[in-house]
Structure 1
Amino acid sequence: MSEFDLFRINDDHEALREAVRAVADDKIAPYAAAVDADSRFPQEANDALVASDFFAPHVAEEYDGVGADALATCIVIEEVARACASSSLIPAVNKLGSMPLILGGSEELKQKYLPPLARGEALFSYGLSERDAGSDTASMKTRARADGDDWVISGQKSWITNAGESEFYTVLAVTDPEAGRGKGVSAFIMEKSDAGFTFGEKEKKLGIKGSPTRELLFDDVRIPGDRIIGEPGTGLALALRTLDHTRVTIGAQAVGIAQGALDFALGYVKERKQFGKAIADFQGIQFMLADMAMQVEAARQMVYVAASKSERDDKDLSFFGAAAKCFASDVAMKVTVDAVQLLGGYGYTSDFPVERMMRDAKITQIYEGTNQVQRIVMARQLMKG
């Protein structure tokens, strides 16, 4: 394939964008400020996404899904994030939580857990990080021990997106403490109703306040033996492979947040008058807008290339996924800060959405691997040649 044909936006993708934007503008954006102010789950967005088949678009048709490709899924997340970042975590985290199952699960597990997800009956979260094992995932302490035909899981997971709202959870736990660093980790599917599985209090956060973030607490939770994903000891490799794919969706979320901020700021400066004319007529403002738009478009291109590589499972996905997430999230932070600046004093108030977008943008530089970790990933790939 030519380097000039890394991805192609077709008519179906453009029609999808229009459809998602219509849903986001009509059913999601009107509630975004209240969702943020009240720190409540965006149920209106959840219902709208289910009704329009944008809830978990990545699930294949054979499991009752719509079978959207990786680029189409990114477009869904981008357009929802343009209206409400918290709401965009519904399709994004549904992919994150279920991706280990898709990549490494048995057909029986897929048939059990993917159709309810595709139909919008259950959210799917992902439990990897712990209090003392954030970027250093291999140092996790959560344990799963075999007991007859079952597994018994004890420990905790931290900073879990949509915890408490999701019915299903992919959880990583050490099954062989003697195997060596990172080698004895396995992946499991846990259900909200499992006895001994509880949640910590909701975290009080800077942004994405509509998406609950809580600890997962496991007090000798007994689950059937067939809920392991893949073979014992393969969990950490599966988790890292998952992140190669899903970091691209965080890049898409970041692009959406940045685009939303740029769109609002552009409309504002055309209307706001100072010194007898619209401030959009001042060259200094125009240069800011040009830089913002250029950065957003560059980020979008990187995300779409990475999404196409994700769809093909290219060998260089690790580099491109990390690069897209890192670059797009840095752009989102810069563009949202500039949007606040363009609105002046009004930008600093909650009367306008750009301050929320600025707060929401920050997390995209942190979760699914901090941008410092993304640079480590990219450097390692470069060293490998």
Structure 2
Amino acid sequence: MESDLFEADHEEFRGIVREFVSREVEPNLERWDEQREIDRDTWLAAGRQGLLGLAVPEEFGGPGETDYRYRMILQLEIARVGASSLQSGFSTNDDIVLNYLLRHATPEQSKRWLPGFVTGETIGAIAMTEPGAGSDLRGITTSAVPDGDGWLISGSKTFITSGILADLVIVFTRTGDSFSLFVVEDGTPGFTRGRKLDKVGLRAQDTAELSFDQVHVPAENLLGEVGQGLAYLKQSLPLERLGIAIAGQASAEAVLCWTVDYVKERTAFGRRIADFQVPAHKLAHLRTAVEVSRAYIDRCVREWNAGTLTPVDAAKAKAWATDLQHEVIDAGVQLHGGYGYMLEYPVARAYIDARVQRIYGGANEIMTDIVAKDLLR
């Protein structure tokens, strides 16, 4: 899609990403869905290609590249082949877990944890949601209490992206009357993973239940300051929601392209589907909507780079782009006819993968409420 967002260096990076996707992603999509997990070798290959941990400073093994346009290119190219599960895993690592570490980790913690985000050796997760607390995180019951030279964490989390493969998990806990963040590392006694959750879509994205039974974490695994968990969450949500918005936009662009190609080739009653007025007008409407949406997403990316993206604008982007993603994919399935319901077609896989986009990162109803309160305060 036409965009003036990118420059020559970004297009050179796109070529590297496209080659990686062709070699390491497209041949494995079906197998990943069957095993309901993405190979660690794929993460390592992405690390070798220089696609991960772009914002990690050079002193910790990264390129120190804070221009988010490079991350956006990675998302666009992954969406182009319908690899939504991989996109979700990479975004969880770079837009969420790594973002918290870059903001709040001490130099010693950074030295321990950041290099693996660049090489692909470290897969991270963030554990917020609980069986009884989703969008309202003030309702969590997982707690951390002082214990000698550290803390004891007890509780359970659910719907945790990358929960099975994660090497470290940022855990959102209650600390008395406030909330705090702790990093729990793989192999810590008392930390266990439950079943790999069987989801409607994103089949290859491992999602798990996590349990913490009197898990002792040393004081040096506290992330930031005690009692600042909610404040940290609010600081990091704009990037998380921007990442989801871009995933929705990228998916909408890809599905629109697949659908246009299909209706140009498929015939009915002796004519191309594209030659009937109703499908043609529907696609014209969607093309307009997708291009207008892309202009807003591009603006948000520029604002993120400039440090001016507000939580309200990120909420607008998340809700708008994921609602549009749903509209485009639903039309794409309809215009593919019966084939749109067959999983051998990428539009069908996109249909089931996309549904969660309007739920996680804050349900779209909550995004709309954020915008409304800002508008009407």
Superposition TM-score tier, normalisation by shorter sequence: over 0.9
- Report the TM-score, using the length of structure 1 for normalisation: 0.91
Query: More deviation in 286-295 or 124-133?
Result: 286-295
Question: Residues 352 and 229 of structure 1: is their aligned pair in 2 closer, same or farther, counting only changes over 3 Å?
Answer: same
Q: State the 1:48 CA deviation.
A: 3.8
Taking the aligned partners of 1:285 and 1:15, their CA distance within structure 2 comes to: 36
Q: State the 1:212 CA deviation.
A: 1.0
> What does residue 336 of structure 2 align with?
343
Contact residue 318 and residue 378 of structure 1 kept, 8 A: no
What letter matches 1:345 in structure 2? Answer: G
Contact residue 44 and residue 119 of structure 2 kept, 8 A: no
Aligned residues: 371
Query: More deviation in 18-27 or 246-255?
Result: 18-27
Partner SS for 2:121: coil
Partner SS for 2:278: helix
Long gaps (5+) in structure 1 = 1-6
Matched, 1:352 2:349: no
Aligned positions of 1:87-106 closer than 5 A: 87-95=86-94, 96-106=96-106
Aligned positions of 1:305-384 closer than 5 A: 305-314=299-308, 316-383=309-376
Question: Residues 43 and 278 of structure 1: is their aligned pair in 2 closer, same or farther, counting only changes over 3 Å?
Answer: farther
Partner SS for 1:58: coil
Q: Determine which of 13, 27, 30 is the counterpart of 1:30.
A: 27
What letter matches 2:235 in structure 1? Answer: R
- Report the TM-score, using the length of structure 2 for normalisation: 0.93
What letter matches 2:346 in structure 1? Answer: P
Q: State the 1:252 CA deviation.
A: 1.2
Matched, 1:203 2:197: yes
Deviations 1:53-111 (A, max 9, x none): 22333333332123332232122123213320001022200021121221122122112
Contact residue 145 and residue 152 of structure 1 kept, 8 A: yes
Q: State the 1:153 CA deviation.
A: 0.6
Contact residue 197 and residue 219 of structure 1 kept, 8 A: yes
Long gaps (5+) in structure 2 = none
> What does residue 152 of structure 2 align with?
152
> What does residue 13 of structure 1 align with?
10
Q: State the 1:44 CA deviation.
A: 6.0
Partner SS for 1:174: strand
Partner SS for 2:180: strand
What letter matches 1:132 in structure 2? Answer: G
Taking the aligned partners of 1:18 and 1:299, their CA distance within structure 2 comes to: 25
RMSD over aligned Cα, in angstroms? 1.9
> What does residue 292 of structure 1 align with?
286
Q: Determine which of 287, 290, 296 is the counterpart of 1:302.
A: 296
Taking the aligned partners of 1:76 and 1:10, their CA distance within structure 2 comes to: 15
Deviations 1:4-27 (A, max 9, x none): xxx943222233233323322343
> What does residue 129 of structure 2 align with?
129
Taking the aligned partners of 2:55 and 2:285, their CA distance within structure 1 comes to: 33
Taking the aligned partners of 2:40 and 2:104, their CA distance within structure 1 comes to: 31
Deviations 1:158-216 (A, max 9, x none): 1100101110111111112xx3xxxx101111111111111111111111110011111
Q: State the 1:149 CA deviation.
A: 1.3
Aligned positions of 1:63-212 closer than 5 A: 63-68=60-65, 69-83=67-81, 84-95=83-94, 96-176=96-176, 179=177, 184-212=178-206
Q: State the 1:325 CA deviation.
A: 1.0
> What does residue 261 of structure 2 align with?
267
Question: Residues 35 and 364 of structure 1: is their aligned pair in 2 closer, same or farther, counting only changes over 3 Å?
Answer: same
What letter matches 1:16 in structure 2? Answer: F
